Amino acid sequence: MSVLSWVTVVLLLHLVYSGQILWRMKDHVHKTQQARIKHTSTAIPKKGTIHQPLNHFDRKNDKTFPQKFFVNDVYWQRSDGPVFLYIGGEGPLSKFSVLFGHHVLMAETHGALLVALEHRFYGQSLNPDGLETETLTHLSSQQALSDLAVFRLYISRRFGLSRANTWISFGGSYAGALSAWLRGKFPHLIYGAVASSAPVQAQLDFSSYNRVVANSLMNEAVGGSKKCVAEVKGVFAAVEAALLMGNETEVGKDFGCCETPLKPEDKTELLQSLADVFMGTVQYNEEGVAFSIAELCDIMTNESEACEAYDRLVKIVAMYRARENVPCLDVSHEKLVLELSNTKASSSYRQWFYQTCTEFGFYQTCEDTHCLFSHVSTLESQTELCSRLFNIPQDSLPARIDFTNQYYGGNRPQTQRVLYVNGNIDPWKELSVVWNDTMVDDDRVILIDGTAHCMDMNADKSMDKPALHQARKEIERRVAMWLKSAALHHMV
């Protein structure tokens, strides 16, 4: 098969959900954080379930689903103490959401009641048929915000709250966007919101993700270099060339693939898996994933072993598999489609992919010249799954993305008392609010130098960068200012 014909087939057949390893690295970060704190707390939060309407916007539909929540009232000053709401995102909610983190430390300072709500259709918050396509029509950010509004009313009644109990919301990544949107859509319920690494701008073709990955791998302040970027770009060209020349068996063995990548779509999945190692390293730099940017670039640029860049990439993948306990790289396209089609699966892949098709896009493509990886990861190839899995036409996606931005305001929202916090090496900052260009709120952005995804949400550690320490102090100052302002307002 010629080079041109193989690329053409990939463009037509590649249906791979970009980011399998990236998603697993995210899960690993959460598990690592929980493992660090698992044995340091004796507090037992209250766990509960609220039965939410399946569809908040159809009063004729009386179906409900169970939604999990946690409460920690250890620090609460019951008369007028504030309420800190931790918003769950695209995955299971843990009890640690009300036990640890920067928001918990602030709750202790301000005598706040801590509550957390799991996102509908993730974790335990779904019906037995919750992942059927027909039921997934009730999975949306709008429904999730209504869940939060109902939950607020439930907590207020259960704990006898009044106007004197000021609500502040917190969230990171997609949940960070929900935190900002909750304040925007329900300003009478939420007084202030902290939105960490929040992609509030929906974008179909998120090619800028990989541009930031390249810039971060070049950033000397975090251990990157121009040489690192050149080596990465060159080695992906070498792997792609090896696959094009018919060396699939050798390449599959080199990278520890579960099966030989003979089919065009399996070759593309392998290339995406290799890219995910670098993408995940940048997104979660120094947060417990297999590598830091500094370590990854050190290996890629180390010529002392007298080996080619290809061999250094093989070493990186072997180290990744050992550190993440991955026996082999699963590059089967068929298995991936089966996993995303499984309506009984315990993972969150299917639900989140549905939301990318219906609301957000966020497809991390690699078609422009800035991308370091294989250019076969295209928008066409990624969005074709929307049609195959959910019968959502590809040509309907732009209108869906436009609606999301019109409904919420994109990255120029007209809201007050929303604090957007981002790290400057995090690719998701491209879809957040990172500058002040409106008169709505003069002081609402924190951009942290040398920091990756959602790192501000963790409690302070001695090894954290000074900029991160300072950012947390600034978040504390803003939250304290909001609570003081709310108290004065309640006295009027």
Given a contact cutoff of 8 angstroms between Cβ atoms, the answer to whether 429 and 458 are in contact is no
Q: CA torsion sign, 352 to 149 to 96 to 171?
A: positive
Q: pLDDT (tens digit, 9 = 90+) per residue, 424-459?
A: 999 999 999 998 766 566 669 999 999 999 999 999
- Within a 10 A sphere around the Cβ of 167, how many other Cβ atoms? 24
Q: Tell me, yes or no, if 453 is annotated catalytic.
A: yes
Residue 46 CA: distances (Å) to CA of 74, 113, 118, 290: 11, 12, 14, 34
Q: pLDDT (tens digit, 9 = 90+) per residue, 283-332?
A: 999 887 789 999 999 999 997 765 889 999 999 999 999 998 899 999 99
Helix axes 208-218, 293-301, angle to 10 degrees: 70
Q: Tell me, yes or no, if 173 is annotated catalytic.
A: yes
Given this model, what pLDDT does residue 27 score?
63
What's the pTM value of the predicted model, to 2 decimals?
A: 0.92
Q: Tell me, yes or no, if 426 is annotated catalytic.
A: yes
Which of 276, 426, 456, 464 is the catalytic position? 426
Which of 119, 138, 453, 456 is the catalytic position? 453
Which of 97, 140, 146, 173 is the catalytic position? 173
State both tokens at 187. Answer: 């300003």
460 contact partners, CB below 8 Å, separation of at least 6 = 102, 105, 469, 472
Q: pLDDT (tens digit, 9 = 90+) per residue, 230-280?
A: 999 999 999 999 999 999 999 999 999 999 999 999 999 999 999 999 999
Q: CA torsion sign, 33 to 195 to 467 to 222?
A: positive
Task: Specify the residue for token string 């998701």.
Answer: 428
CA nearest 375: which of 26, 17, 14, 21? Answer: 14
3-state secondary structure of 430: helix
| Amino acid making up residue 477 | R
Going along the chain from its start, the domains and CATH numbers come out as 3-29+204-397 (1.20.120.980), 50-202+406-491 (3.40.50.1820)
